[in-house]
Structure formats: C-alpha cells, structure tokens
Amino acid sequence: MRVLSPRQFPVFFAAALSLAVVAQAQNTAKPEPFRIAFVGDSMADGLWQGVTRTIAKNNCLKPLIETQRFGQIGTGLTRLDKFNWPRELVAIGRRYKPQIYVVSLGLNDRNPIHDPEGKDAQYMSKEWPDVYREKIDKMLKSAISMKASVVWLGIPSLRDGRADKEAKEKNALYASAVAALNDPTVRYVDFWRIKPEGEDPFSTYGPGEDGKLIALRTPDGSHFTPAGYDLLGAYLYPKIVETLRQRGVDIDKLCPAKNEANPDTKSSVKSD
C-alpha cells in the first residue's frame, strides 16, 4: 500500500473536501416552486397564457412560480352532471398540490342547473340565483379543503347586452360568496377594465402595453386576443403576488420586477 508523504496531505485533504462539497450540493434538493392552477372555462386558459407570459419576462421568477392550465372548454357550474368542478378541484389538489387556484367561470352558465349531488333549477327561474350560489359555495369549499388560496376573477364585459347583464349578476354572486366566507385566503377580483371608473362597455379595441390602440377582444364578443390576455396577465399577476404574500412568500423581495422582454416567453407557455 502506498503511504502519502507529509507534503501530500494538504493536497489530499483539499481534494477530499472539494468532493464532499460537490456531493452535498448534488444531494441538496431544489426548493419546490409555488404552484398555481388555472381552473374554469376557456377564459381560464387565456388567463393562464397571459400570466405565464408575464412571469416569463423575469428570469428570476421561472424556478419560483409554476403555472398549469386545467381549464375545460364549455364547462361551468350549471351542468355538474357533465363536468363536476367542485369534485375536479379536489382531484387537482391531490394530484398537482397547488398553493393557489385561479378561477374563471360563468361564460357557459346560461342554462338550467343539473347537479346529481344537489339541487337543480330551471334557467331564469326565481330559484336559479340561489341554487347557483350553492354551486359557487361548493367550489370554494373544495379549494379550501385542499388548503389552497383562491383568486376568483369575475366575467368581463360582453358584447351581447343580455349576456353582459347576466354576467354582472353572476359576478355579484361570486363576490358575495367570497365575502360571506370572510377568509383572507379567498379573494374575488373584478375583471380588468378599459375605463378605470364609471361604465365599462364592451370594446373590441383598447390601448396595448405601449399605449397604442390594438384589438383586445376576439370576434365572438367574449374572449380576448393574445395581446388582450397579456394585459390581463399583467393585471392579474400582482393579485397573485399579494396572495402569495399572505401565505408568507414575498415574491417582490425574492425577484424584483424587471421590464426587459424575454425571448423565450412564447416557448415557455405549454399545455398540461
């Protein structure tokens, strides 16, 4: 067996120490990202894209915040016999374990309520608002049971006058359900508006991020263009930051805001 000389001991010790440091670094688990689940209808999908692109503008945020889309086109809270969102929220919570649910529903809730596990109601009947409110409560309780925070975004202004009126009525139900909980981890957020005060009528065009007039809404009179969803993402992201702060995570301190664009923004938006 070869015996090290006294002069070789420092070199051997330094090499061994370096290997130990490398091994410890490799074995140290990376911190888990904060998970945000976007749930609801097609509007939730667009919000996911807008928020994800907003996050991607700051490279520091990428390893800290993870977003996933769980939206289902054509779903809502009226046809729970077809797709049961309160039950699905629990399944997502067990599978994905999000810290926050971002909820956007209501565009498709213009029909009778059918719930195999609860009350039904005919559309436009006097019972419909109260029964619909019960479904909102079920949705919120499912999220709370998963120990997650909730950011519930209202329905935007719609081109069709009757649909717009009904959307405002549903927004009032969402807001009242959240207020009744009196839970700081659950918040209702009014939808982004072109006009900060007064009436906010539907408008296809509006100012973009650079202030120039661009198309923000799609021809269907309900959804947004990619540029429109980018504005919504920039509007919604601070609400998510506030919700994380309530959970003891100060994202602004961990990652100061940056204005530079990220060329990888588009490639970072992927479907689940």
Q: Contacts for 6-12 with beta carbons within 8 Å, 24 or more apart?
A: none
Q: In whole angstroms, what separates CA 42 from the centre of its chain?
A: 13
Six token digits for residue 45? 């999908």
- Cβ-contact 114, 81 below 8 angstroms: yes
pLDDT at 3: 55
- Cβ-contact 265, 56 below 8 angstroms: yes
User: In the block, which residue shows the tokens 């980018």?
Assistant: 230
The pLDDT tens digits of the residues spanning 42-61 come to 999 999 999 999 999 999 99
One-letter amino acid for residue 52 of the chain: T
Categorize the per-residue pLDDT at 8 as very low, low, confident or very high, splitting at 50, 70 and 90.
low
CATH of domain 32-268: 3.40.50.1110
pTM for the whole thing?
A: 0.83
Q: Give the residue, 195 or 122, on which the prediction is more confident.
A: 122
Q: Which is nearest to 133 in space by CA: 165, 99, 181? A: 181
What is the rounded average pLDDT for all residues in the chain? 86
